[in-house]
Amino acid sequence: MSDRNNQRVGRRSLLQSIGAFGALVGLGGITSATPGREPGPKKDELIVGVDSDVSNIEAVVEPKIPSNAKIVHTNETLGYAAVEIADEASIQAKETVLDADEVTYSEDNVTYEAIGADPQELESDADTASTLYTPNDPNLGSQYAPQQVNAPEAWETTLGDPDVTISIVDQGVQYDHPDLSGNMDRSVSNGGSDFVDNDGDPYPVSASENHGTHVAGIAAGGTDNGTGHAGISNCSLLSARALGDGQGGSLSDIADAIQWSADQGADIINMSLGGGGATQLMREACQYAKSQGALLVAAAGNDYGSSVSYPAAHDSVVAVSSLDEGETLSDFSNLGPEIELAAPGDDVLSSVPWDDYDYFPGTSMASPVVAGVAGLTLSAWPNLSNEQLRTHLQDTAVDVGLSGNEQGSGRVDAGNAVTTEPGSSPDPNPDPGECGDEVNTASADGELSGGWGGNPSDTYTYQLQTVDPCSATITLEGPTSADFDLYLTVDGRTPTISDYDERSASEDSNETIEVDLTGSEAFGLLVSRYTGSGSYTMTVDESGR
């Protein structure tokens, strides 16, 4: 056993075991790579595609490549060979190999990257109480993504059918994570396959390989399992490890992973990766998966308004942009006419190695939200084809006031998609319900002392937790010897004593503001002291319909 495998087994012994998943499933048309072929990006390789009726790829390609080149990998299903070749000979080799009658294209084995996510630590004190389905996951109150896409309404009907499978083409997934193990596809050994190291174990190799675990947890982390966060669905997860711990992966590894996922019967394939440009092999791999019945979903990219990345830009793929908590386009999100749906992607809470949780931002996070909603939708409407599912998600999306290049058909909505019969439209005038049907309470403590020259004020930003907020009461309680004033803005901006929307300024330390929040998404608070000192507690009682 290699040192790397020894390290892996040792690490797993510290984690909860999920037992054997059964016999290793074959790779269906993918040959073994040449021994010694380096994992991850393969910048010294050329992809050579051949006609679909070619039975012996090597016999067609080998006579046309330079003497110092060699075929290191073939895929009979997608009809290509990967050729290792010196960089300086690449252009000449491309032209030479195209002279073969049965060769259809040649291109570099380019590198795709995981689409972004620098972790940011956030905290929330919100406790959620709702008339909608409320799972028992302890971190639900620290999440906003499920609430933003109306997942609680969908959960009233279904938490997700395990017969619906979502494949995560990404970095390795910690498949024995306590919030993922229960949803891993048990028909496949270890819940997936590894195309980076060419083995059957798609487990992360280092703590930095956290992207795939985070993405998987968003789409289908355990919901209502009393552990961690709530994923969008309880559908089954497949892990197709195609990106290494440097977050990069080769075109051929990713294409093989897509083909394998389709051959395993994946209903939805999530690709939170991009940046390799338009390639024929990626186009054919995605088209193959689509022809097998899979819905492909991909991140638009995090290049701050640049055009949509590939593979998201391919016609066969649903391209997803990212929204922040206020349902405006995230500043990092790419945009363009290929965008079909938008979803929350700013600081999304999910699982990470080892048995932990963190907040990541990126269109990488928005894409699995859509994949999870697609899983819920297919659970409720199992007879939908992949194209019908794609259309239904668009038809039931919510217009959040952005341009088509930013939101496509709108923000994906799980409640609409699950409760609306395919082929019809959501009720445009639903009963809003009574204000107070949903109630959330949050609190924060602060301390002011030292007079105006010391610490005269504290500021807070509160993100609304309810699906349809209508009002809130903000209460501040402090020592009787002090005089606090409370200022509030209803659009989330930071208040000042000269720039605010509401103010409570009695001559004591107890202040209360009641505010109409209809149409609001966040508000800002400023506590200012005029006399005295001491600690205070501020409470927000939020109501929604």
Active site members: 170, 211, 364
Task: Give me the amino acid identity at 404.
Answer: G
512-542 burial, b at 16+ Cβ within 10 Å, e below that, comes to: ebeeebeebbbbbbbbbbeebbbebebebbb
Cβ–Cβ under 8 Å, residues 148 and 344: yes
CA distance 389 to 406: 21
Q: Cβ distance 231 to 135 under 8 Å?
A: no
- Retrieve residue 457's tokens: 């004020």
Which helix (H) or strand (E) segment is 39 a member of?
none
3-class SS at 92? helix
**Which one-letter amino acid corresponds to residue 533?**
S
Q: For strand 502-504 and strand 248-250, is the pairing parallel, antiparallel, or unpaired?
A: unpaired
CA distance 244 to 187: 24
Looking only at the bridges linking them, the beta strands covering 80-84 and 45-50 are: antiparallel
CB 20 within 8 A of CB 188: no
Buried-state track 215-238, b at ≥16 Cβ within 10 A, e below 16: bbbbbbbbbbbebbbbbbbbbbbb
The 10 Å Cβ neighbour count of residue 431 is: 7
Tokens of 316: 């066969």
375: closest CA among 151, 182, 203, 143? 151
Paired tokens of 489: 């803005």
Which stretches within 292-413 are classed as H helix? 363-380, 386-395, 404-407
C-alpha 273: how far from its chain's center? 11
